[in-house]
Structure 1
């Protein structure tokens, strides 16, 4: 069976034909997924394919003459993970670590972040090549870690038990006090930062992370948000007994280790753990030894991006928002400067580059826990090493995103500062993508996903960044324009979790549909001939089914996006063509207005239809 016939067959298997596509399209498209798949969702499917191939590589003990040290380190880590991984408690932590007396000076060096403040290396808001240290209050997501820490504190007879609970509560109250405020970002040198918030040993913290003398830190730039929070938090810490502070940091470090370790003792779980913690090594191995379709996939993705750009260019030609000539030039420069890349490997492909990043980590085959502690510290060092480059400028040939994450990204993502869409290599596997598939499957799934990511460059947050990734007053002008604000107000008529994600969902599906079928396509006036691999559904119906099935699976908890069923139902309901394509009765069609931000207004025949 050819790949397109196989894809069409899988689409029919996933369906629930008892559901009404006009009232619950997600259930109609995905209601049968749980009965036909052993996976939770499509992401788990492609992640399992990736893990299977990576497991085969590690267990074959292949040698690499190009970067032997890197490969040896990765094999050593994998070996310990699969043979020494245990469910451990505080008593299992190595003696040297248990005796460690953590302080604010040293905890970040061990990978700990977001306890009292969040510290990370990024680029300046007005210069996407200038590296800065960003300081702000802890991310809201760290509250899960706080809850876990409190459960551990309450379970054991700690010396400073009550004081640790009070400290966590005090930080929580400060976060609640300042969370909803729009912070002003201050740009300071380390001396200014130490003067403005003197209770925190900033110089010692950065010196401990980077292992350099204080004199080498004088020219570092710090972008500091939530200054009033940081001042009050610093005073709270200054009034806290050092023993309480040290014990609380120990507990939070234990929570970090528990959150970061593999979910279970098996090779595939270890591989996904390594993909998050040692991404450069895992990307290198997969790309060099296992990924066979880079050339074909690259050509197809670039073709899709060109199609999306051409269609969005037609949107701009119509100038629905009535932007000025300067604003139009800003938008076109951003659109045509947008790039796409497969995987997250640096441009520098020299053997020396790949063989050196992990050399400071002392991994061993006999202790996974020691390796985990080493890897967390290594990750922090790698994130900060660019700060020592002349002028702390970003080296684009070696640029690599390496966030403090416990799970690596599987879906494509857009970065404002790089104006780039990155598509993880493991994403480019069937059932999500195969370069041999018919164009309708590329257009309905991958093109829709890429259109969503492209749309992030033109929603209410992304619009502020220009083609080079710098915040621009022109972007702010566009955002504050009446047409842009009216489009946002239209979207706000329905509940959502994230406005920018809702905008990207709606605008992305519109863009993908128009890119595939043409901007003025009207299915009511077109007679479709069946595809050789699919005779039941018309081309637009197959487009929507394939799009919706990207979201098949168990409904996830709502964090940064709407629930998958809402994302599908709201998005297809916002596209006029959907009701025509599935011949929906007027009584079943949503009553709220169609929301379009960039798309040209419909022609008269659409209005009257």
Structure 2
């Protein structure tokens, strides 16, 4: 969770603002009588449009299609429809597989005003968001005795949609907190602010009560050298604009950022005498901090500079006038944890910490106080009145490319799900998760995991010693699928214990602040608790559209929320499932062996366990990936990707595609004549449809601001690259579509790690 957690949930859980219909209504809408009759007519009589790529595609088909080869079940008709509405056959797949697979969808898709991009993931998240709204807003069944955790999730949601209460109390509650606990926000007080009471450690401590890691980060994490216990982490915090590149030169973003501070100060205060000067000082202060801020790829590359010490020796570890020892001790008292001198501390970004200490020493108390409180105010805008949220929206329009707030009920449903995900999931899995899908998804995961084991065994660049250990790690990888068992049980003890402190009333802002305080307390209390290797992480609740690999647990998780169309459906032909969720499964497995995951052994300890020779060979292959991805241009904004930043996800994308494809081939060989073609798409082989559905997963249309923001800050490559790069490295893609290496979507020198 980020510092501005109440704010950032919005960007983490993008939403389209489009209300999904129920599956039955959606099916009826998508495949009406006209569509069905047209497809069936095309199936029976071979009526097809003449397309540019017909020769290429048909050349790859292994046999002639008959009506007996076509799947006409309701799901197959639905799947055919969404693929037909996506493919652009005027584009040659061997030249640009992304626009071949997504071109028509892109032309016909509009980006809703309340998001900065539209994609399959966003659409599925939107569907889930509206499902959550329906669950939380609908009264429980007459005979239902709901767990207290669920009752409080409903209370939190209801307080969040209470606009009247927010308009009445939101601003005043925040300002009262700022003035009574934080020492005021000088920009609102003009020259009357008294700097004689300024106390930096106390200010940071008071803000840390509400999950605000500002300037410095103090948290609990799994001890990377002994994954059975936790340790303390100290390092840099984040920047308001995410990455330091935004501060390097004057742009429309930096102008809008300063305007955001100015407008919020004007709206919240009456004394405007020093606002302009304060705004400039705040920005220049953060700009100086940004010079020393480590980017994501720098953190990845410089991990070995992390210093491991103890609480007792912390003050001797790096050169700073800030008393970290006292600050860390005070922070952990928020969780009623008294630190011992022998408690382990992992200190990262030491160079940043030293330089920021000098910046703080040279800055005025007014500037520091203004900046730190500003970061809290920026994160709290979503808690306040519509006027304040409108000011924030004007900034988001520039930074993210969004033109409107999400509907309030959707925003509140997402927040409730983010903070009380397992309580929400108690309702979600009962109504929306198909239990029959569990066995099939488990079978797919096992098939893909076995395929990866075969790929490891056949690897020619790993020496025997490293290979044996890698195979052992892959075999012991823990699986979480759907939801934890206790959520499906009538025994609610664990759920109630986990949310015992979540007792809410009608005040949204007080409920939100209480959640932040609870999360801080729980985070610090983890230090004295053993690592639950089999537990579901706090942010991998079943009611999310995502998948995870946790290196410290050597664990893959596939929550119920992602086990849905178009990624997975129990009635879908297997080539669609393997090309959808199958690639995601392979992606998460491969994370255990990407540039970061490969540093953790089978028990989740970050220790050397490969030979130097194998590491050297891995780095050579990794470098090929980095160079390849750094040479792709995002034409929309005419900027190249950063292969160093995205290398882990890129390695996982390439490995996941290969593992899922080979697993499907093996399944198809053992289950002949089971998978039929799709109506209207029968000129495509099942292997071609595997790749088409894979590409469909990453169709995206985005604003320029979104593309720029993602390119600078996201460890994932953008959608077009996630389609083109892995397929261009895969000779089985060339074979399926009859591509010649050297064409736009087929590399001659393919980059292969796994």
TM-score, structure 2 normalization: 0.69
Unaligned runs of 5+ in 1: 599-609
User: Distance in 2 between the 1:548 and 1:376 partners?
Assistant: 39
Write out per-residue CA displacement over residues 323-347 of structure 1, whole angstroms, 9 at most, x where no aligned residue.
Answer: 12x2122111111111221356586
- CA positional deviation for 1:473: 1.2
- Count of matched residue positions in the alignment of Structure 1 and Structure 2: 582
User: Distance in 1 between the 2:627 and 2:722 partners?
Assistant: 15
1:504 aligns with 2:645: no
Write out per-residue CA displacement over residues 494-545 of structure 1, whole angstroms, 9 at most, x where no aligned residue.
Answer: 2333122222222221221111114999xxxx99995375523111111111
1:4 aligns with 2:76: yes
Cα distance, 1:56–1:215 mapped onto 2, change above 3 Å: closer
Work out which of the residue numbers 302, 312, 324 in structure 2 matches 1:182. 302
User: Distance in 1 between the 2:337 and 2:742 partners?
Assistant: 70
Corresponding position of 2:493: 352
Work out which of the residue numbers 463, 469, 472 in structure 2 matches 1:333. 472
Contact 2:119 2:699 in 1 (8 A): yes
Contact 1:346 1:398 in 2 (8 A): no
1:167 aligns with 2:285: yes
For residues 151-550 of structure 1, what are the structure 2 equivalents within 5 Å?
151-155=259-263, 156=265, 157=272, 161=278, 163-175=281-293, 182=302, 184-196=305-317, 199-208=322-331, 210-211=333-334, 215-258=338-381, 263-287=405-429, 289-293=430-434, 295-324=435-464, 326-343=465-482, 345=484, 351-361=492-502, 363-365=504-506, 367-389=507-529, 393-396=530-533, 398=535, 400-402=537-539, 410-475=545-610, 477=612, 480-482=615-617, 484-496=618-630, 497=642, 498-518=646-666, 531=677, 533=679, 535-550=682-697
Moved more, 61-70 or 577-586: 61-70
Work out which of the residue numbers 108, 126, 131 in structure 1 matches 2:230. 131
Write out per-residue CA displacement over residues 261-298 of structure 1, whole angstroms, 9 at most, x where no aligned residue.
Answer: 994342122112222233333333323x32432x4333
1:118 aligns with 2:252: no
- CA positional deviation for 1:352: 3.1
Aligned to 2:228, the other structure's residue is in SS state strand
Aligned to 2:701, the other structure's residue is in SS state coil
- CA positional deviation for 1:439: 1.3
Contact 1:67 1:355 in 2 (8 A): no
Aligned to 1:300, the other structure's residue is in SS state helix
Corresponding position of 2:402: none
Aligned to 1:122, the other structure's residue is in SS state strand
Corresponding position of 1:551: 698
1:100 aligns with 2:180: yes
Cα distance, 1:396–1:563 mapped onto 2, change above 3 Å: closer
Moved more, 39-48 or 345-354: 345-354
Work out which of the residue numbers 129, 151, 159 in structure 2 matches 1:80. 159
User: Distance in 2 between the 1:140 and 1:411 partners?
Assistant: 25
Cα distance, 1:543–1:458 mapped onto 2, change above 3 Å: same
TM-score, structure 1 normalization: 0.85
User: Distance in 1 between the 2:406 and 2:206 partners?
Assistant: 30
Moved more, 134-143 or 154-163: 154-163
Contact 1:411 1:424 in 2 (8 A): yes
Cα distance, 1:337–1:234 mapped onto 2, change above 3 Å: same
